[in-house]
Structures are given as structure tokens and as C-alpha cells.
Amino acid sequence: MAKASPDKALGHWSKLFESLQASPAEFYKQVEVAVAERKILGVVIERVEYREGGAFSGFREYLRVARRRDVFDVCGDAVRQRLLVFLVVHETEART
């Protein structure tokens, strides 16, 4: 898959779900199931890691859902019995 970077994102979105209590792993599994149920041709789902900050910071896992040049990196983070969801949208470079 072509490389997508949060530094070259087309947009960012975040939403705090007050009533959704799930670990990031449980949330990612639910997203994977929901995408699979739709049987969208050419969809690739994988886990990617991005640094949380600078060169010495830790990594955060994202669930990447990609089709053709469109890439959606989804991150879930449990916050005090709520779920904070981040979405980063990319478009990869065309393959030659």
C-alpha cells in the first residue's frame, strides 16, 4: 500500500462519545466488522502506528481503512468511561 502520513492529511476529525464504553481494541474490531459487512470491493484494513509527538515519544495505534487512493486512519482512545475517536483522512499518491 502507498504510504500515507498524518503530516500530509487532507483533514482531521474528532468526536467524544459519552455513552460508548469500549477499549480501542474492541472499537477497532467493531469497525472492522462493520466494514466487512458492507462487502466493499478493494478495501484494505490494517493497523498502523504513528508517533504521539516528537522523535522520542511513544506510538499510538490506528486502524487504517483504505480503498484506491482514499485512506482513513481511525484512532480510538478510552477516556474516563467514554470513547474519543480521531479520524485522519489522506489521499495517497497515484501509483505508476
Taking residues 4-18, report their average pLDDT: 79
Reported as a single tens digit per residue, the pLDDT across 30-80 is: 999 999 999 999 999 999 988 877 778 888 899 999 999 899 999 998 888
What are the residue ranges spanned by the domains of the chain? Answer: 7-91
**Please, is 41 exposed, middle or buried when counting C-beta atoms within 10 Å of its C-beta (0-12, 13-18, 19+)?**
exposed
Across 78-86, average pLDDT: 86
Amino acid, single-letter form, for residue 95: R
- Does the pTM surpass 0.85? The reply is no
